[in-house]
């Protein structure tokens, strides 16, 4: 009898691999019945990754969104799954263990069945608690292997991770081919070894189409024993996203696998609604280049979903770079020239940083380092002149063990700066924080919410949650959407909320907080409160904690990034500059108390 191949619709990831946002909850609820009527999906990816954070950026409650979005699939008997980043959970930086544990409890209560957990470094220690907490919370634990192509990422290397997570109790394994550069025959060999050694472990394949390998990879892993394949639907399939279900289903059927029937009328309705959401507002943040595959991604190995943010970075630096080129009597560079130079620099940087799989957040660290190397070398400065604190955290072992060996030049540079390498369990560096956030909620008069979901959201995304509660997030999103519509010449239909953005006056705040310490811009340039890809529109709000000597933000100058270093520990009582503002050296941009 032929074996069945089952499909999962990655409706969350196909949006976030295309642009900055996902549909609002009312839109998700609208499309759910058509997805169900397609009849070919056993699973749907509903949340995780940046989903909760995106809802906060809308100024909406992500807990409401998850509950309403998962409900129709449960009723139809379709499993839902989420993505989480191990030590980093649902954000770009490490999360205390008690917050991680609460996450699985909350997400199960909200209707999420399967926790897909990955560590960007494939460090099994960062996945141990994910497995244990998921199962304790009543979820299916699916561990994702971050797939890449390098001399150190062998089948035996990945099987070593599989052995450990199965020992911890993982129910399933996902091959997370986030850049789509896994070679089909390699993935088949890995799948076969997993299924041979652990026949009861389900295997799911997730592959992006950017470099073009993933359809072949899907066929090979299916033949080798994989159980589930992640697919997308038009108009957000192919390109840098995921293969379309129609093609993959027909390919599997032709190869002799059993597949569920597909209701083409329902498919067309999902397609229509998805396009409607794009036309409504989501398309303003979707880079047209995401619709195209690129063989250039084979060499650098960057995820296709990063192309939009990377090109935005290059545009931001293009002026400064070309000013340098003109000053040295060299021809100016086009964006395509810069892109190729950046890809080449990524290829140089990646092995020297120990071959971290190029997945969030480590793909950003490698890309940011390569970008700063490019800028510095064009200005006659040595490579590695500018490395941000999060990249240093990766280098020093604070986020886990790197798969490969660091270049001696990087080791020597760390030692010259008096930095120490960490070999312990990364989780031990981040003490529990729920009591602190519980107290802050009491002080604010906020309820912890059903199943403590509001407490969880506050502890996971403090800054964004404060923006949501204050109304600033909704105001900022609507203003951003208005600006984009104006640039596109589209009619403006945005209704502004009552909440107004505060107007700041330096003298007023100096008098209001006489004991507060001013925060000053270290140089002339553009204010960047955040350089992380998920957070690049955010600024701190009143209540955001900072530590003396640790960057609270950056100023982008023609020669690189200058860190904004608070002089004292404390919390912002006022923020006077927003993301992208032009600032002068010494200008007061906030107060800390």
Q: All domains of the chain, ordered by start, with CATH?
A: 6-290 (3.20.20.70), 502-593 (2.40.50.100)
CA geometry: angle 455, 460, 464, nearest 5 deg: 95
R_g of the chain, CA atoms, integer Å: 24
| C-alpha–C-alpha distance, residues 342 and 338, integer Å | 6
Which token pair is 154?
């062998």
β-pair partners for 230: 8
CA distances from 590 to 88, 107, 505, 506, 552 (A): 28, 36, 10, 9, 10
Which token pair is 65?
């969104």
Token pair 């957990």: residue: 117
CA distances from 463 to 136, 215, 314, 357, 469 (A): 29, 40, 27, 28, 10
CA geometry: angle 510, 512, 514, nearest 5 deg: 60
Predicted TM-score (pTM) of the model is: 0.82
> Could you tell me which of 241, 282, 266 has the C-alpha nearest to residue 32?
266
| C-alpha–C-alpha distance, residues 303 and 211, integer Å | 9
Sheet with 582-583: list strands edge to edge.
Answer: 560-564, 553-557, 525-528, 582-583
Which token pair is 346?
């990524």
| C-alpha–C-alpha distance, residues 224 and 226, integer Å | 6
SS3 331: coil
The one-digit pLDDT tens for each residue of the chain (593 residues) are 589 999 999 999 999 888 889 999 999 999 999 999 999 999 999 999 999 999 999 999 999 999 999 999 999 999 999 999 999 999 988 999 999 999 999 999 999 999 999 999 999 999 999 999 999 999 999 999 999 999 999 999 999 999 999 999 999 999 999 999 999 999 999 999 999 999 999 999 999 999 999 999 999 999 999 999 999 999 999 999 999 999 999 999 999 999 999 999 999 999 999 999 999 999 998 888 788 888 888 877 777 666 656 666 677 677 777 777 788 888 888 888 888 888 899 899 999 999 999 887 888 889 889 988 988 888 788 999 888 888 999 999 999 999 999 999 999 999 999 999 999 999 999 999 999 999 999 999 999 999 999 999 999 999 899 999 999 999 999 998 998 888 887 654 433 333 333 444 555 655 666 667 778 788 777 787 765 434 444 556 667 788 877 788 888 765 556 788 887 778 887 787 777 778 877 677 888 87
CA geometry: angle 82, 88, 89, nearest 5 deg: 30
CA geometry: angle 67, 235, 245, nearest 5 deg: 75
| C-alpha–C-alpha distance, residues 45 and 114, integer Å | 9
Strand segments (E) across 111-201: 114-118, 140-146, 172-177
At residue 472, φ and ψ (nearest 5 deg) are -65, -35
- Concatenated DSSP letters of 112-158: --EEEEE-TT--HHHHHHHHHHHHHTT-EEEEEEE---STT--HHHH
DSSP class of 390: H
| C-alpha–C-alpha distance, residues 10 and 458, integer Å | 26
């Amino acid at each position: 009898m032929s074996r069945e191949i089952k499909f999962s619709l990655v409706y969350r990831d196909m949006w976030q691999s295309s642009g900055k946002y996902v549909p609002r909850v009312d839109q998700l609820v609208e499309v759910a019945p058509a997805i169900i009527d397609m009849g070919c999906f056993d699973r749907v990816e509903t949340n995780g990754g940046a989903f909760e954070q995106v809802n906060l950026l809308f100024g909406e409650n992500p807990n409401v969104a998850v509950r309403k979005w998962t409900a129709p699939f449960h009723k139809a008997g379709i499993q839902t799954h989420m993505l989480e980043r191990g030590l980093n959970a649902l954000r770009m930086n490490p999360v205390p263990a008690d917050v991680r544990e609460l996450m699985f409890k909350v997400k199960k209560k909200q209707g999420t069945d399967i926790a897909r957990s990955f560590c960007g470094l494939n460090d099994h220690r960062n996945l141990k608690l994910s497995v244990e907490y998921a199962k304790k919370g009543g979820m299916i634990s699916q561990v994702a292997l971050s797939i890449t192509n390098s001399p150190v990422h062998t089948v035996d290397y990945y099987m070593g991770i599989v052995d450990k997570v199965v020992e911890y109790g993982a129910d399933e394994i996902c091959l997370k081919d986030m850049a789509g550069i896994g070679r089909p025959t390699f993935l088949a060999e890995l799948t076969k070894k997993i299924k041979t050694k652990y026949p009861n472990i389900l295997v799911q394949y997730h592959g992006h189409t950017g470099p073009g390998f993933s359809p072949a990879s899907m066929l090979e892993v299916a033949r080798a024993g994989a159980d589930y394949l992640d697919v997308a639907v038009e108009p957000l399939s192919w390109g840098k996203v995921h293969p379309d279900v129609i093609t993959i289903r027909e390919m599997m059927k032709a190869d002799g696998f059993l597949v569920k029937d597909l209701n083409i009328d329902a498919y067309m309705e999902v397609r229509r609604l998805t396009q409607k959401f794009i036309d409504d507002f989501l398309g303003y943040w979707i880079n047209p280049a995401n619709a195209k595959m690129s063989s250039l991604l084979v060499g650098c190995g960057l995820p296709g979903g990063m192309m939009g943010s990377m090109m935005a970075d290059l545009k931001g630096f293009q002026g400064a770079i070309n000013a340098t080129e003109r000053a040295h009597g060299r021809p100016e560079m086009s964006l395509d020239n810069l892109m190729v130079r950046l890809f080449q620099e990524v290829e140089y940087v990646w092995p020297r940083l120990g071959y971290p799989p190029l997945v969030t957040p480590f793909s950003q660290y490698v890309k940011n380092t390569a970008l700063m190397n490019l800028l510095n070398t064009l200005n006659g400065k040595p490579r590695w002149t500018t490395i941000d604190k999060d990249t240093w955290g990766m280098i020093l072992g604070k986020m886990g063990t790197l798969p490969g060996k660091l270049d001696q030049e990087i080791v020597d540079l760390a030692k010259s700066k008096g930095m120490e390498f960490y070999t312990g369990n990364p989780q031990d560096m981040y003490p529990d924080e729920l009591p602190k956030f519980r107290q802050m909620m009491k002080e604010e008069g906020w309820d912890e919410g059903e199943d403590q979901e509001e407490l969880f959201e506050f502890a996971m995304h403090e800054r964004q949650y404060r923006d949501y509660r204050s109304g600033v997030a909704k105001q900022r999103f609507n203003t951003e959407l208005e600006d984009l519509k104006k640039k596109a010449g589209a009619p403006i239909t945005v209704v502004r909320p009552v909440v107004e953005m505060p107007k700041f006056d330096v003298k007023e705040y100096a008098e209001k907080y006489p004991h507060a310490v001013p925060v000053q811009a270290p140089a002339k340039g553009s204010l960047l409160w955040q350089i992380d890809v998920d957070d690049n529109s955010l600024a701190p709000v009143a209540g955001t904690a900072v530590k003396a000597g640790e960057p609270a933000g950056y100023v982008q100058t023609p020669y690189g990034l200058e860190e904004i270093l608070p002089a004292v520990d404390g919390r912002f009582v006022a923020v006077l500059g927003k993301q992208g503002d032009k600032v002068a050296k010494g200008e007061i941009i906030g107060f800390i108390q």
